[in-house]
Amino acid sequence: MVFVACLALGVVFVSSYLGDRQKFRGEIIQMQFDLLQGKDYVLNGRPMYLPAFQNRVLFPLALYPLALYAVTQSKLLDANDAFLLLRLLTACLALATMWWVARGISNCSPKLAAGGALLLAFSLIFTFQFAWEHPTDLLDVCFIALMTLATVQKRLLLLLGIALVAALNRESAAFAGVLWALRSWRRSIASQPRLRACCGRFVTRWMKNGACSLVKSAAPLF
């Protein structure tokens, strides 16, 4: 877990200090409180209202009491510190969930699961494409991992429960249905030899044509 915490610290450090993110953090923090009230918010100095963001209340619900305590009770912390602390906690949760799910699905060694967590942490850095932070991103990783585990374990009610909570974080909770549909589709293919053979030929042809196209497109580079 120390390894996971160190990875989480690195991810949050990059996320927090990349580009001008420090400059816009005040707007992002205020945006979390505005989301809870259904109000317009300010991004990059401009007032706006994005309907797709209105369900993203899980992080604000956790941030509000933490920031309130930091401002009213603590003499050492402020709302910015509370935001960064919660970001660190969600990063730890995401990477720890990845480690736990990898162990649960494949029964792999702790070292291999740690390698997966390292790869995830490295990959997350490349998703920080915006000038401001998206507090939903790390929780999204956690929920997708849990939904994958529930799907593999064939636990529909658990998957539904995770999706309901994940819907408070981001609209990607809808992928729970996609995961379950893919599982059912895979099972139906396995029970029909002709359909399985047809899909196999399609995938083989697709990979062959894709490889040829890739070679042709790369040829001018050499």
Q: Is residue 116 part of a domain?
A: yes
Q: Is residue 135 part of a domain?
A: yes
Q: Do the beta carbons of residue 42 and residue 48 sit within 8 Å?
A: yes
Give pTM, 2 decimals. 0.78
Q: What is the pLDDT of residue 206?
A: 54
Q: Is residue 202 part of a domain?
A: no
pLDDT mean over 12-25: 86
Q: Is residue 204 part of a domain?
A: no
Q: Is residue 109 part of a domain?
A: yes
Q: Is residue 124 part of a domain?
A: yes
Q: Is residue 215 part of a domain?
A: no
Q: What is the domain extent for residue 175?
A: 2-191
| Identity of the residue numbered 202 | F
pLDDT digits over 85-125, tens only? 999 999 999 999 999 998 888 888 888 888 888 999 998 88
Q: Is residue 219 part of a domain?
A: no
How many domains does the chain contain in total? Answer: 1
pLDDT mean over 162-180: 90
